[in-house]
Amino acid sequence: MMLQLHANIRAILIGSVGSIFLSGCQNTVILHYRQPANCYLFDSNPTGSPHTTTSAGSGMFLFYDIVSIENKASGAKDFNFNPAKLFANGDSKGNTVPGTPGASFTYLLTGIAVPKLVPKGTTSGSLGRVVINLPSDDPAALKTAQMNLLYKSASGESVLLARDPGPAPKFLDPCTPANVNALP
């Protein structure tokens, strides 16, 4: 009797969780990204005088390319992509310290991601580049580290982030408008 009760409860729970899972994922968008480079220091004009640089402090600047967003799931809704909702998380010890999107030098770079509507039933093309300053207890460990990109979904949004295959990020020392804009 007790064993049958546990089996019934387990079946109800599995069915409920499955229904919740399936209903919650019907409008999932898939954001494809890659991470071509990381750097400690951004040099806005390497030959200029005075020489001005921007440091990542005790962290690392992470450069991400938003390759595409698929919005073709069952029950899809128009998706308002906002690059300000992107962040990277963690450090070499597994601490959860969110990195902040944007950097003071992004105006010097080409192809920076901007908010965009991705209509239901479509897949966007490239949406541009995002720079995130990720704090770390050990910035040297992040030189070529691939850090997962995350998205702060609003109510009713479901965003799955998928890193596209590719090489480890290049370490740029320092990064400049020329070498960042030349990244593939």
Banded model confidence at residue 13, pLDDT cuts 50, 70, 90: very low
Q: Are 78 and 118 in contact (CB under 8 A)?
A: yes
User: 91-132, pLDDT tens digit by residue?
Assistant: 555 555 566 666 778 888 888 999 999 999 999 999 999 998
Query: Beta strand pairing status for 28-39 and 59-71?
Result: antiparallel
The type of residue at 175 is: C
The structural domains of the chain, with segments of one domain joined by +, span 27-181
User: 32-75, pLDDT tens digit by residue?
Assistant: 999 999 999 999 888 888 878 899 988 899 999 999 999 999 88
pTM of the model: 0.80
Q: Which distant-in-sequence residues (6+ apart) come within 8 Å of 101 by Cβ?
A: 83, 84, 85, 86, 87, 130, 131, 132
Assigned CATH topology for domain 27-181: Immunoglobulin-like (2.60.40)
